[in-house]
């Protein structure tokens, strides 16, 4: 990290006006700069550059449009209460990005260079990190295959880019609002042997229809079951899922079709640290319902970069409606949320080494 | 079809030189013109235009790069022996395109307009249809989601495009060369409830790794098994599969994770017409191997727009190697190939109504 940066820089002629942090919509505003790097078979990854955020020009025959060879990540930078700019667990996200590349036959990225690109770009754009508690700067690194070619085999050309988007508070009043979740028993997101355990666009494309159907009947998200038996709980649209049962914590074990969430991993470490029993195991929806009927299902919550912790107030499975904790945010989810955001905003000492300061 | 065309036209200033039909590589050369049409939430599908083939400009935040909401088709135009330009079953391909749109929550296309776009574009580019037997003009209609937005819900903007690529003869000497196929028992392409039955980029992205592994050990393609039990035969990379057993024809039935191939459908109609028993059913790889061991597996072949009919000479499943028909093209596959290409090149009367003349 002491070497001179290999990253080129083109200065923007004019900077944009920053949007009002109170009315920010997720994923709609982008900052002044972006990072870009190209891959070709002969030279590998070349031409790393930070330049003004702008459109890219591609052949309509570009591989990504036809065969979807692409991967991405999602992580966040925060402004701490003492005005430092920090990124949450970038190394872990970069490792997952490279795991995604591997599964999609995309040439691996140099992790150090990606980390340098991330930190340099966010440092340059640090005025875009909103200051209010609950807000953040969303970081989207992604790789697309760009060769103009219509045969199915790994593309010979790629672009790696990082774009940044300031995002408002997920919970407007600091109160965590429980969500209603529909247990999907017809559509399937992923199956063992497929690509569910990595972040590739096709997983999300495949999920849209079920999500729409759930919305139509008043549910905000879908809880996916496994693709083989339509029985074991996997994860929510863009969150992993946890259950508090009789004072202990349960989450589906990583089985090859669930995304290994960085927030999931962080929550597991915190719960271990608290000395509370935590079980990563196969959890069938039938068993969960039985637990619910016995009055033992105390809390349900999702974990993900977008919302950090998202309490679940209702689960609908077939004709059964499970109301969790009287549709109120549980104490445990709340405490986890405060702990996680405590790390994000520098209110708790970084004992796990998760915070990358710029 | 009698109405005045709604399709705008921009003339190219200069036309490209046509490539040598003897050395054409699949999917690398594109013709002078392309069709394009845009969708936005307010106006629907608007601005249909035929214009010079050129790059498109998109925000790096475009939905397709991140969440892969996209669909495509692949069909062919042929030059008949009496110099007519024809397209094979365009209506069937357009119907499948709209089925793909539906599953991916993409607003439906007006089938008549798409047909008009296809025929107008191919008519304009008819000098690009190579003349030699076995060659054709590959037609690639596709839809990509273009809204610059990083949340997961249907995009509000799309582009529909058609590009054309002249392709050389699949079998250089008119001899059908049998292929070696690896039965994949670890990776999975699709599962019931997912998107395997439609043409969306993510399916192909997910397939690349298995394909690469098969190539490394000397196999050209992968035969996919079902995602639930890893047992039932589904299809090959970009072909459906047929077996001739004891004089009768078998093919996996459409189960929700297999692409309903247009060539598959054509072959089924031809076989029915010939009065030969044909069974669409679940076929397990174990049963197939047993049939092979009993000496009853007479022929295996794939069907798809790219190769029309592709005889399979060897199937490798776990430690078993099945050599089919002494690694020679079977009589049945050959007769089907001649019949199908007979329709393509106008050597057989179009009794099924498959040929769309321009
Ligand atoms: C499918 C899916 N599951 C889970 C998660 C949660 O992962 P993380 O905690 O790393 O954001 C995400 C979001 O990235 C996701 O897209
Ligand atoms: C996965 C898959 N299966 C089968 C086929 C064969 O379909 P068709 O005969 O319509 O070309 C294709 C090619 O389109 C395909 O991509």
CB contact under 8 A, B61 and A165: yes
Please report which confidence band the pLDDT of residue B147 belongs to, taking 50, 70 and 90 as the band edges.
very high
Please report which confidence band the pLDDT of residue B172 belongs to, taking 50, 70 and 90 as the band edges.
low
- C-alpha closest to that of B314 among B330, B304, B300: B300
Q: Residue B273 burial (CB < 10 Å; 0-12/13-18/19+)?
A: exposed
Which residues of chain A does B59 touch, with a Cβ-Cβ cutoff of 8 Å?
55-56
- A interface test, pick of B26, B61, B62, B144 with most A CB neighbours within 10 Å: B61
B159–chain A nearest CA distance, Å? 10
Quick one: which atom of ligand 2 is closest to the CA of B264? Answer: 9
Of A126-140, A145-159, B168-182, the poorest mean pLDDT is in B168-182
User: Does ligand 1 come within 6 angstroms of the Cβ of A257?
Assistant: no
Ligand 2 geometric centre to CA of B342 (Å): 20
- A301: helix, coil or strand? strand
d(CA A158, CA A146): 5
Tens of pLDDT, residue by residue over B244-271, are: 999 999 999 998 999 999 999 999 999 9
pLDDT at A172: 66
Of A106-110, A173-177, B80-84, the poorest mean pLDDT is in A173-177
- C-alpha closest to that of A204 among B230, B155, B161, B73: B155
Q: Which residues pair with B52 in a beta bridge?
A: B33
What sign for the dihedral angle of Cα B87, B91, B94, B96? negative
Residue with tokens 């909401």: B69
Q: Are A342 and A78 in contact (CB under 8 A)?
A: no
* Arithmetic mean of pLDDT, B289-313: 97
Which residues of chain B does A191 touch, with a Cβ-Cβ cutoff of 8 Å?
188, 191, 194, 227-228
Q: Are B252 and B243 in contact (CB under 8 A)?
A: no
Q: Which ligand is nearest to the CA of B190?
A: 2
Quick one: which atom of ligand 1 is closest to the CA of A207? Answer: 1
pLDDT at B173: 65
- C-alpha closest to that of A358 among A169, A74, A137, A167: A137
* Arithmetic mean of pLDDT, A62-89: 98
Interfacial A residues in 67-126 facing B (CB < 8 Å): 67-70, 72, 103-105
- Which fold would CATH assign to domain B8-167? D-amino Acid Aminotransferase; Chain A, domain 1 (3.30.470)
Percentage of chain A lying above the pLDDT 70 cut? 98
pLDDT at A170 over 90: no
User: Does ligand 1 come within 6 angstroms of the Cβ of A238?
Assistant: yes
Q: CB of B183 within 8 Å of any CB in chain A?
A: no
The domain covering A179-344 belongs, at the CATH homologous superfamily level, to: D-amino Acid Aminotransferase, subunit A, domain 2 (3.20.10.10)
CB contact under 8 A, B154 and A227: no
d(CA B68, CA B65): 6
Q: Are A139 and A120 in contact (CB under 8 A)?
A: no
Q: Which ligand is nearest to the CA of B198?
A: 2
Residue with the nearest Cα to atom 1 of ligand 2? B238
Tens of pLDDT, residue by residue over B319-336, are: 999 999 999 999 999 999
- A314: helix, coil or strand? strand
Domain range summary for chain A, segments of one domain joined by +: 8-167, 179-344
User: Does ligand 1 come within 6 angstroms of the Cβ of A313?
Assistant: no
pLDDT at A311 over 70: yes
Tens of pLDDT, residue by residue over B7-66, are: 999 999 999 999 988 888 889 999 999 999 999 989 999 999 999 999 999 999 999 999
Q: pTM for the whole thing?
A: 0.97
Quick one: which atom of ligand 2 is closest to the CA of B203? Answer: 1
* Arithmetic mean of pLDDT, A134-138: 94
Size of interface A-B (CB pairs under 8 A): 217
d(CA B45, CA B33): 20
pLDDT at B24: 86
* Arithmetic mean of pLDDT, A50-66: 98
Write the ipTM. 0.97
- A337: helix, coil or strand? helix
Of B1-10, B42-51, B147-156, B291-300, the poorest mean pLDDT is in B1-10
Q: Are A256 and A193 in contact (CB under 8 A)?
A: yes
Tens of pLDDT, residue by residue over A244-271, are: 999 999 999 998 999 999 999 999 999 9
Q: CB of A346 within 8 Å of any CB in chain B?
A: no
**DSSP label at A219?**
-
Which residues of chain B does A214 touch, with a Cβ-Cβ cutoff of 8 Å?
none
Looking from the CA of A209 toward its CB, the CA atoms found within 13 Å total 19
pLDDT at A2 over 70: no
Mean pLDDT for all residues in chain A: 96
């Amino acid at each position: 990290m002491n070497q001179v940066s290999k990253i080129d820089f083109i200065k923007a002629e004019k900077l944009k006006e920053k949007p009002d942090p109170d009315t920010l919509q997720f994923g709609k505003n982008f900052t002044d700069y972006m990072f870009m790097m190209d891959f070709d078979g002969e030279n590998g990854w070349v031409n790393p550059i930070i330049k003004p955020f702008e459109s890219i020009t591609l052949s309509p025959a570009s591989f990504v449009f036809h065969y979807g060879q692409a991967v991405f990540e999602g992580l966040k930078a925060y402004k701490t209460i003492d005005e430092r700019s920090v990124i949450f667990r970038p190394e872990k996200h970069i490792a997952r990005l490279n795991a995604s590349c591997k599964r999609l036959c995309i040439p691996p990225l140099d992790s150090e260079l990606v980390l340098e690109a991330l930190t340099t770009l966010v440092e340059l754009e640090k005025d875009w990190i909103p200051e209010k508690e609950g807000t953040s700067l969303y970081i989207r690194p992604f790789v697309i295959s760009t060769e103009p070619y219509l045969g199915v085999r790994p593309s010979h050309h790629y672009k790696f880019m990082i774009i940044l988007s300031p995002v408002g508070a997920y919970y407007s009043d600091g109160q965590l609002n429980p969500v209603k979740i529909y247990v999907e028993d017809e559509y399937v997101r992923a199956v063992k042997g497929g690509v569910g355990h990595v972040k590739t666009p096709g997983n999300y494309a495949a999920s849209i229809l079920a999500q729409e159907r759930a919305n139509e009947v008043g549910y905000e998200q879908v809880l996916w079951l496994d693709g083989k038996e339509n029985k074991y709980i996997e994860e929510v649209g863009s969150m992993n899922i946890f259950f508090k049962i009789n004072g202990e914590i349960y989450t589906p074990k990583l089985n090859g079709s669930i995304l290994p969430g960085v927030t999931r991993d962080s929550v597991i470490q915190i719960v271990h640290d608290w000395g509370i029993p935590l079980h990563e195991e196969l959890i069938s929806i039938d068993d969960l319902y039985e637990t619910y009927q016995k009055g033992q299902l105390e809390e349900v919550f999702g974990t993900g970069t977008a919302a950090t912790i998202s309490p679940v107030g209702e689960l609908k499975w077939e004709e059964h409606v499970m109301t969790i904790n009287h549709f109120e945010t549980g104490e445990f989810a709340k405490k986890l949320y405060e702990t996680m955001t405590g790390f994000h905003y520098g209110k708790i000492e970084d004992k796990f080494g998760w915070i990358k300061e710029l």
